[in-house]
Amino acid sequence: MPDADIPVLHLVNRFWIGGAERQFVERLRLHPEGFRAVVGCLEASGPMLEQVRALGYEPIVFPLNGSMMKPNTALQIARIAALVRKQGVKLIHATDFNTNLLALAVARLTGTKAIVSRVDLGHLRSGFGKMHREAEKLNARFADLVVANADAVREVCIRDEGCKPENVVVVRNGLDLARFDSLAAQPLQAPLPEGETVVAVIGNLWPVKGHRTFIEAVALVKDRLPGVKFVCAGEGPEREYLENRILELGLQQSFFLLGHRLDVPALLARVQAGCLCSSAEGLSNALMEAMAARLPLIATRVGGNPELVRDGDNGFLVPYGDARALAGKLVALLSDKQRMAAMGRRGRERVESELSLQRMADGHGALYRRALGRAPLVDAIARAA
């Protein structure tokens, strides 16, 4: 890239398998024109790290060593500030809770602009309690700009956190379809259960993802859909409960926990429908990839899910936690192969037209220019939307 490109420091906690981490990689894969990426992290670990290195970036590590409530945090803020000054960084684009806080602190020390990311609805969870939530609210309120991945997330920032509407911008996640299609054509890392129809849930086994509702719905439909297999790709603390429930409900031949999978596009290419049962979501990468794979979907009517799944068009929406409603939609969807195919085609068309990697890069470019005072936010984002 030419020397005139403006340096942007991108910060991420680590490179584990998750929606924020995956979109971090996509942000680097097609970086906005006129800006040069500098990559920093708090921990150089996780399966997504090699993808970052393959793009030509070696992350600079600023280790927190556990908690931000230690003197080491001040040292890492000073180190990041030194990097910002040395590299001539004008913008810091943070990705997650820890890096959002660090970015704002460094920006205030160095006079750079801080863009913090919000990709969920601020739900409380393991390791993220009320104090974390209050810190997140203050951080968003005082950042130069907040970038949200869905309208639902933007609304939370404005309504619940007191952010100024003009400071919260939606840039939707993007998908590199050419790369996705290439990965979809690759062999599976492990076989799938044999069945005439396979329904997949992609997501780590966390309580927020609603796997418990999914398994109860499967128990309600197993006799009406005897040839259907249900698979969950992901890992997490819910595994033990789900394994026990599979045994209690007699679902050993119908319901399968696949663990972590790095071949999700290939997996989606070999199943017939997708499902997401979360209690809270921003803009779900799992739904986007299922749409790219031409799968009809059933998702909960929460967060950004209705921004992806249009009820009756490319799938169905159901209330969170309602196993009977989910079971009813599973039967309705899987009993009509023609409708399944039509819904899958419409989902793919939406990804092609609205959720491309180029559109995301254009949105981020407009965001960066606005942060630097070089373009009107409304006009720039409208052109990228």
For residues 222 and 235, membership in a common domain is answered with yes
Token duo for residue 299? 């998702």
**Arithmetic mean of pLDDT, 100-120:** 97
Residues 6+ apart with CB under 8 A from 55: 25, 28, 29
**Arithmetic mean of pLDDT, 116-125:** 87
Q: Tell me, what CATH number does 193's domain have? A: 3.40.50.2000
Domain assignment of residue 201, yes or no: yes
Given a cut of 50, whether residue 376 has pLDDT beyond it is no
Cβ burial of 191 (10 Å; 0-12, 13-18, 19+) is exposed
Given a cut of 50, whether residue 385 has pLDDT beyond it is no
User: Domain range for residue 31?
Assistant: 6-174+356-384
pLDDT of residue 69: 84
Helix residue ranges per DSSP H, the chain: 19-29, 49-54, 71-87, 97-110, 130-142, 151-159, 177-184, 211-221, 239-249, 264-268, 285-292, 305-308, 323-334, 337-354, 357-371, 377-384
In this prediction, what percent of the chain has a pLDDT beyond 90? 89
For residues 255 and 367, membership in a common domain is answered with no
CA-to-CA distance for 12 and 8, rounded, in angstroms? 13
Domain assignment of residue 1, yes or no: no
For residues 200 and 304, membership in a common domain is answered with yes
**Arithmetic mean of pLDDT, 185-212:** 95
Tens-digit pLDDT profile for residues 297-337: 999 999 999 999 999 999 999 999 999 999 999 999 999 99
Q: How many structural domains does the chain have? A: 2
pLDDT of residue 380: 40
pLDDT of residue 383: 42
The model's pTM = 0.91
User: Taking the C-alpha atoms of 147, 153, 155 and 161 in order, what is their torsion angle to the nearest 10 degrees?
Assistant: -80
